[in-house]
Structure 1
Amino acid sequence: MADPKPKKGGTRTYLQWTPEMDTTLLDTLVEHHNNANRAQNGWKPHVYNACIKHVKETCGVDITKDKIQARIKTFDKHYEIISKMLTQSGFGWDSEKNMVEVDSDEVWSRYVEANKEAGCYRNKVVMNWQAIQTIYSRDHVTGVGVATPAESVQEQVTPAPEESPEVPQKRQRTGEAILCMMGEMRTSFDETLKATEPLPMPKVTPPTEIYDALKKLNFEESDLLKAYGKLIINERLFEALKALPEEIKKPWLLSLP
């Protein structure tokens, strides 16, 4: 395990986050997320105190609110990039390897052409994905609480300029792929889009709908989180759940591998 103690580099002090520290921090955030301990502009002050205390007691490391906020930015980046990929056909989540799984190199190459920020995630291990989903997914959809780490540190989030269309479910026309790669001027880009049919977008059920449906089944918290983690990345599983009679929905979910 890497030395978790702060290291000095020049005039700044750097903290090496270990997997144990990440897990401990996220456990605390999930607990307070479930207890609605968030204000409109970020986590409530006592949540940071709880995180500092829990990491100290569990890992023996002193951290500060600033260090927590910086780490939350990393979690949010993982959520934004990975959850976007998982809405596309050909992508899934490998819970054993803790990384994104892709149907083929072709699917990956075409996606990264239009979403270059995802390039480093082909073989990137992201631990605690289920916990990261829990503390971010509902907020990103509803706009309640902390939608991004910038909001959690009370900074104004400025929306990025609209990018080229995401890779469609099956294939993308050659002309459109070239426009995505070359980054044509906006005027030319809009004119080209008007001459083509709209690209089909995959159906994505809002995470709030999945979470609310599971709450009605009176799960224990650990079982609820497991079921949520499976349904959030598999649209067909949630459709299958809705088709079942109420009395067998919970047994069916508990039987899933």
Structure 2
Amino acid sequence: MSHMLLEILAEEALKGNKPSSTFRAESFVKVATEISQKFNVQCEPKHVDNHLKTVKKEWGIITKLKNKSGFGWDDCLKMITVSKDVYDEEVKAHPNHNKYLNKKLDMYEAMTIVVGKDMATGNYAKSYADVNLEENTEEQSISIENEGEYEETSKGKETSSSSTQKRQHRKRNRMYEDDGVEKLSKQIGDVALAIQSLSKNQLDVNALYAEVMKIEGFDEITLGEAFDHLVQNEMLAKAFMAKNANLRKIWVQNFVNQHYYRPVC
């Protein structure tokens, strides 16, 4: 469910439904509706909002760890890298941080789009209720502005000219805002489109099994565990299937290095 939530919200951001620090109300509704239909559960927008807060907390931890002294970052694998000594020290102080270290961070690209900008600026996303309240307030504000403009036009030519200039100024501001949204969409477009494209392709589990098991240099048990891991991470499995034979073998070797590493407690 978490993967689906991030995928949909990343697509919503690409469509311009996250113009500032929060998503539009309809984005929360869309996520809740699609999750309810796919998993046959009752999911409401407030549940999406609550889970998004959890994602934000995880992103905060990831960002903090990436910036800590002695911690590295592998951008190709999307993985925080540390030495054995640093790993032991960090996990001893924070046991729950072990899942972020020396392991590929699933859905990292989607998290970057959905919550990365908010966290980087310290501007946390508002709740679903806040979004509705802001939209209602905005509608009332627009209505009041329109009434004010109507009154101004009745005061004479000079006042009418001033009102026209104000409207033109507002239009220019809106044009600048729209241009900013468009530029932001282009910046995140490549990553979001890749996520969207992968999510539309249905995973062929039998084909995945065949491709994993024919990789040379690894025993059957190891390849079986690699296959199980890919099946549990559909987006990762699709990316694996898109690689050539050499890159697939490298991926399996990285999987072995990550998941067969046993730190000393």
Normalising by structure 1, report the TM-score.
0.43
Larger Rg: 2
Higher RCO (C-alpha under 8 Å, 6+ residues apart): 2
Would you tell me which structure has more helix in proportion to its own residues? Answer: 2
Would you tell me which structure has more strand in proportion to its own residues? Answer: 1
